[in-house]
Amino acid sequence: MKVEEKIKEYEKGIKKVLITAEEIQAAIKKAGERIDAIYDGRPILLVSILKGAFVFMADICRAVHVPCEIGFMCAKSYYEGTQSSGVVKITMDLDRDISGYHVVIVEDIVDTGRTLNDITKILKDRNPVSLRVVTLLDKPSRRLVDFKADVSLFTIPDYFVIGYGLDCAEKYRNLPYIAEFGE
Ligand code: 5GP
């Protein structure tokens, strides 16, 4: 297959742009201001859940002005059937003790809510001074557990989305916008 054909094939997955790069950046600026207002000069630890939130993390950490440290963790979900919590496994943990920190989890998307429901429980048990969640996207129509992020930038319908860190089979993470995936 020629290079142009390969690119065309790849681009077929981008069905429709839902949120432009400019709209994302404007919402991040506002979210940064909200976080600044909440913490009012107190230092925070931003914790990003890899891989999906890596692009959002890079932008949101530059939109806050309170003293800020960053950390990363990786989690895998092993849900089957009706199980609604308790099966998230941390596959790469934070490199420090979070007691004494105001922790802000930075997530790409809340879908069923199970991953963040579990992760917030795990992190709360480590006694942070406070724990909040900021998510770029929220799909409330898909929720299976009662979970609400403290700061949510965009509410979207039940589409499978790609771009701005979100993947389909590890591709499309580098798109600067959020798009609906389709073939
Ligand atoms: P939850 O536990 O809330 O159901 O799922 C959270 C994870 O599922 C997200 O962090 C993300 O990795 C994945 N996910 C949920 N919806 C989408 C989507 O529309 N697109 C992509 N790429 N991943 C999604």
This prediction has a pTM of 0.94
CATH code of 130's domain: 3.40.50.2020
Tokens of 71: 């950390």
Q: Is 166 in the pocket of ligand 1 (CB under 6 A)?
A: yes
Residue among 32, 33, 43, 18 nearest 139 (CA): 18
Could you give the number of structural domains in the chain? 1
- Does residue 138 have its Cβ closer than 6 Å to ligand 1? no
- For ligand 1, whether the C-beta of 136 sits within 6 Å is no
Q: pLDDT digit string (tens) for 156-166?
A: 999 999 999 99
**Domain that residue 62 falls in:** 19-176
Tell me how far the alpha carbon of residue 37 is from its chain's centroid. Answer: 21
Structure confidence at residue 2 as a pLDDT band (50, 70, 90): confident
Whether 83 has a pLDDT exceeding 70, the answer reads no
Residue 183 maps to a domain:
no
Residue 2 within any structural domain of the chain: no
Across 87-97, average pLDDT: 92
Q: Is residue 171 part of a domain?
A: yes
Instruction: Determine, yes or no, domain membership for 13.
Output: no
- The answer to whether residue 84 scores a pLDDT higher than 70 is no
Instruction: Supply the pLDDT for residue 53.
Output: 97
Residue 115 Cβ inside 6 Å of ligand 1? The answer reads yes
Nearest CA to ligand 1 atom 9: 109
CA of 76 to the centre of ligand 1 (A): 11
Q: Is 10 in the pocket of ligand 1 (CB under 6 A)?
A: no
The reported pLDDT for the residue numbered 79 is 64
Any domain includes 12? no
Cα–chain center distance at 78:
19
* pLDDT tens by residue, 20-33: 999 999 999 999 99
- Residue 34 belongs to some domain of the structure: yes
- Distances from the Cα of 135 to the Cαs of 13, 57, 97, 132, in angstroms? 24, 10, 23, 10
Domain-located, residue 14: no
Instruction: Flag whether 25 is in a domain.
Output: yes
Would you name the residues annotated as active-site residues? Answer: 111
What's the gap in Å between 14 CA and the centre of ligand 1?
Answer: 17
CA of 137 to the centre of ligand 1 (A): 10
